Amino acid sequence: MPALSFFGKRPTSFKRLLRRVHVPLIVLFSCSLNACWTSRIANPLTPAQVNKSDYGRNAKLLYYMDLGITNHYEGRYAVSNRKLEDAERLGEQLYTKSLTGTAASFIVNDYVLAYRGEDFELALIHLYMALNYAKLGKLEDALVEARKLDSKLSALNQSYPEGKKNVYKEDALIRFIAALLHEAEGNLDSANVDYMKSLEVFRDYAANYGTVAPRFVVENLLTVADGAGFPDRVEKLRSEYPEAQFLRYKSKQRLGEVIVVHYHGKSPVKVSERVPLGIMEGVVLTVSFPKYEYSPRNRKGATVTFTRADGKGVSCATEVMENIEAIASKNLKNRIHRMNAKAIARLAAQYALIEMQAKKIRKKYGKKAEQLWRMTTHLSRELASTADTRSCRSLPAEIRIGRAILMPGEYSANIRMPDGETRQIKKLKVSAGKKEFVILRSVD
Amino acid sequence: MTFTRFFIFGGLILSFVCTGMRCDPKIRRKDPGKVIDYSGRWNDSDSQMVAAAVIEDCLASAWIDEYKNENNKRPVMVVGRVKNKSHEHIDTMFFTKEFEKALIKSGRVRVVAEKDMREDVRAERRDIQMNADSATIKKFGKEIGADFVLLGVVGTIKDEVKSRYVMYYQTDLELINIETNEKVWIGEKKLKKDIKKKSFKLF
């Protein structure tokens, strides 16, 4: 009597062959299904469009980020913070890499790994949270986020070996916002340090991303350095930046400061690009790399005119302080060699596995079976071979900042957006020594 | 034969799946005093440690007896603001409440309601004026003014390198005479945590 398989009779040779073929096929196809990540979205995301099911098990970080950031744009700051806190916790948990997942990513694709976030994405979580707390009037909590940011940026700096440092290792905008919060608290020493760092990072920003420090960064530093009792620094800065206006700390304390945070454009999206490497034993070998696709946007900023009840007004235009498009692009360029090496190693591993099995099949079942095996497995390999195109889709292309120093009182604000659209804020209360944040979002 | 095997195998899988997919949460009661750390962040255990350390120190300090000897009455205290200057969102209410409770229990100090609570009590008093029986109406202007206010700060220093970091917490509490600004007691509690994040896991 022939030996029985679990399900009954011993399968025929052809059935056994099919089983051998099906297992890798099922594995590869199921993994390639994970890769159904939609990078391109027609309109800017809204909280209602952020569905957990669209993100899958391995992109939970992006789900929480998108939900937190879109709620921030809609003015739901408490909800935004809850979601961003989830994103932050998950980001910390994802520090621990899965050994089996990493091994699988060398055979299948990077979608089998949980998305851990780009450095700048993880840092920006704290920026949004700090602004949320500031908008909720919780300055102490906003400062907690500023301190977290400081340690995150320091850790980021240390996470790359000497000589292999990432271009993005500090954040000028985040430092500027942290300095503003410290200044609002009256902690002039910390404010001074953060304004200085912001200005320093802008030198790198100018070289790497073409973003120069707006004049008000220097002006705020001058004021704080004066308040903290650094006359030498004030003198040095005034000679370095003669165009910057110097406002004494005591005078500024009698005035209020409005910061316009303008999120403009859509962040670039990653797309998978297939590059043919050659033909080997009749099989076309390709590898996929991620590349960024950019959305067109108006390069102008928003202009905000604040008008008091007596008709006196002050205008300010928003200037680019964080070019996310350029940061993302440079960041990818930094890592592309590592990604290329991994994609080629993956291709080699897949090819070796398939060919090893092909030899066995030829020996046992003949040439036709081998051809069938090679055709199906190489096809599924090609389908599964796709670059990891996951990225945060709710980020803007750039963050622009405008600043106005105003006499205390009640103001109305008339906003002219980059596309010519006008918006209004009916009532904005400005208090002496306080900072007010105005949040704007535009796409085109 | 095949059907029987299939039936048994399917049944086994189904039972595994069903037990694995229980939707009721698993709950285990824990001793609130037990130290449980998951993330390494500030938690209930840290609050309890701070409270235990400062309460003991405050009650053992000479300021209560000195005040009693000078004024022939118990000092009245109010809990003020404990600033959070740390890297974490810490609700200082947990240890300031423990502090209040211990002082009241000791019977050596009188404690009045803090700012937020006073507002609620005043609102209640206003409501009573309008709606309560005249015999039970409570008067305005009878509040007890505090002699001392408790103020403090929680600060941290974080030193991080790759997967490891040391978090140093320092909680400083100060009791200040409201009339003279004299600091009559300063208590502190230092905590240090060495946290190592796992670089790898199996799955």
Touching check for A104 and chain B: CB below 8 Å?
A: no
User: Mean pLDDT, chain A, as a whole number?
Assistant: 88
Task: Name the phi and psi angles at A218, rounded to 5.
Answer: -65, -40
C-alpha to C-alpha distance for A259 and A177, rounded to whole angstroms = 9
A6 vs B83: CB contact, 8 Å cut-off? Answer: no
Tokens of A390: 């996951």
* pLDDT (tens digit per residue) in B44-67: 999 999 999 999 899 999 999 999
Nearest CA among A290, A421, A328 for reference residue A119: A328
* pLDDT (tens digit per residue) in A64-122: 999 999 999 999 999 999 999 999 999 989 888 888 888 888 888 888 899 999 889 99
Task: Indicate the SS3 state at residue A292.
Answer: strand
State the alpha helices, DSSP H only, in B30-92.
Answer: 44-60, 63-71
Nearest CA among A177, A428, A136, A134 for reference residue A305: A428
B197 vs A97: CB contact, 8 Å cut-off? Answer: no
Spatial neighbors of A169 by CB under 8 A, at least 6 apart, are: A119, A153, A156, A157, A160
Task: Name every chain B residue with its beta carbon within 8 A of the beta carbon of A154.
Answer: 160
Q: Looking at the predicted structure, is the pLDDT value of residue A5 above 80?
A: no
Residue A170 — pLDDT band, cuts 50, 70, 90? Answer: confident
- Whether B177 maps to a domain, the answer reads yes
Q: What is the 3-state secondary structure (H, E, C) of A421-439?
A: CEEEEEEEEECCCCEEEEE
- Whether B1 maps to a domain, the answer reads no
**B158 → closest Cβ in A96, A151, A158:** A151
- Whether B138 maps to a domain, the answer reads no
Burial degree of B127 (CB within 10 A; 0-12, 13-18, 19+): exposed
More confident: A6 or B171: B171
- Alpha carbon A367 to its chain centroid, in Å, reads 50
Q: Looking at the predicted structure, is the pLDDT value of residue A166 above 90?
A: no
* Per-residue CA distances from A351 to A9, A101, A287, A347, B125 (Å): 34, 20, 12, 6, 81
A148 vs B6: CB contact, 8 Å cut-off? Answer: no
Question: Where do we find the tokens 């052809």?
Answer: A14
- Whether B26 maps to a domain, the answer reads no
- Alpha carbon B139 to its chain centroid, in Å, reads 33
Output the pLDDT for position B100. Answer: 92
CATH number at B47 reads 3.40.50
* pLDDT (tens digit per residue) in A328-377: 999 898 888 888 898 999 999 888 888 888 898 899 889 998 988 888 88
Burial degree of A422 (CB within 10 A; 0-12, 13-18, 19+): exposed
Q: Looking at the predicted structure, is the pLDDT value of residue B23 above 60?
A: no
- Whether B5 maps to a domain, the answer reads no
**B160 → closest Cβ in A7, A89, A151:** A151
Task: Name the phi and psi angles at A184, rounded to 5.
Answer: -65, -30
- Taking the CA atoms of residue B162, residue B166, residue B171 and residue B172 in that order, the dihedral angle to the nearest 10 degrees is -100
Residue A39 — pLDDT band, cuts 50, 70, 90? Answer: low
Instruction: Count up the domains in chain B and report the number.
Output: 1
Amino acid letter, B20? G
pLDDT-wise least confident of A6-10, A19-23, A333-337, A421-425: A6-10
Chain A closest-CA separation from residue B70 CA (Å):
38
Range of the structural domain that residue B103 is part of: 41-133+144-196
A101 vs B203: CB contact, 8 Å cut-off? Answer: yes
Residue B37 — pLDDT band, cuts 50, 70, 90? Answer: confident
First-to-last C-alpha distance (Å) of chain B: 38
Share above pLDDT 90 across residues of chain A, in percent, rounded to a whole number: 54
pLDDT-wise least confident of A43-47, A140-144, A264-268, B31-35: A43-47
Contact A386, A288 (CB under 8 A): yes
Q: Looking at the predicted structure, is the pLDDT value of residue A3 above 60?
A: no
* Interval A395-399 mean pLDDT: 96
